[in-house]
Structures are given as structure tokens and as C-alpha cells.
Amino acid sequence: MFKPRPTVYRGTLMRSRNEARFAQYLDSTGVDWVYEPRAYGGTNGDYLPDFQLFERGHSLFVELKRPMDPEDMASAVELERAMERMEIIWQSEPDAALMLVTGDHAILGEAGHWQGTVDYPWMRHVPR
């Protein structure tokens, strides 16, 4: 597995190239965003979301993960842990919308519940 490579995008040092590419994708679609907006604390620890997006008066917190196969047990455990960490946001913002992005898929959560997985092929729209 590759280690994340810190990358600067538009003057912001991001923890990985994947995050910088995602920011580039957001810019290409006209979505306003903030990188690592603020840390949240809860009974299960602390959590710092990768992005907060603002579109049409709505806010969405996004966590990016490497592409994973949910059929693979190790990947499934990693996804479950990421979802549990993101849920810390709901302790202080119960109506927050969450999105866990892994490869071409996203798991969506809203109002304290995970809603399901959708196709989200953002990587295809960003030049390498």
C-alpha cells in the first residue's frame, strides 16, 4: 500500500494527492469547499473531516478513503471504522450530512443514519 504524499493545492497543504485531486474536482464543478474545517469531539474520540462542502445552502462533510472492496473483510472493517469516526459529527450536529468516498463509490449519511451507497465516479473527471 502506498503512503499518502502531502500535496499543495491552491496554497493549501493537503495530506495526500487524492485530497488535492478531490479539491481540483470540486473546483471544476463549482462547489465551494473548506479543507479540514474543524475538529469534532465526542464520546468516541475526536474526528477531523477532510472537507466540508457548501452547495445550494446545504453543508456536507466528506471523508476520502482509498478505493476498497466492501466484499473484502479487511476493507469492510476499515470502512466500518471510518463510518464510526465520522459519526462523531452527529453528536454535535445531529442534522449534518456525511459522505464517505472510497474510489468510485460514496456512502451517504444524514440526520444520524447512514442511507446507503451510491456511484460517485469523481476520479474520472480530474486529469492526472
Query: Taking the model in full, what pTM does it have?
Result: 0.92
Average pLDDT, the chain: 92
Q: How confident is the model at residue 55 (pLDDT cuts 50, 70, 90)?
A: confident
In this predicted structure, the answer to whether residue 128 has a pLDDT above a threshold of 80 is: no
With CA atoms as reference, report the closest residue to 36 among 23, 49, 47. 49
DSSP designation for 123: G
How far the first Cα of the chain sits from its last, in Å, is: 19
Q: Where are the alpha helices (DSSP H) in 1-128?
A: 17-29, 73-86, 88-92
pLDDT class of 57 with cuts at 50, 70, 90: confident
pLDDT in tens, 71-106: 788 888 999 999 999 999 999 999 999 999 998 999
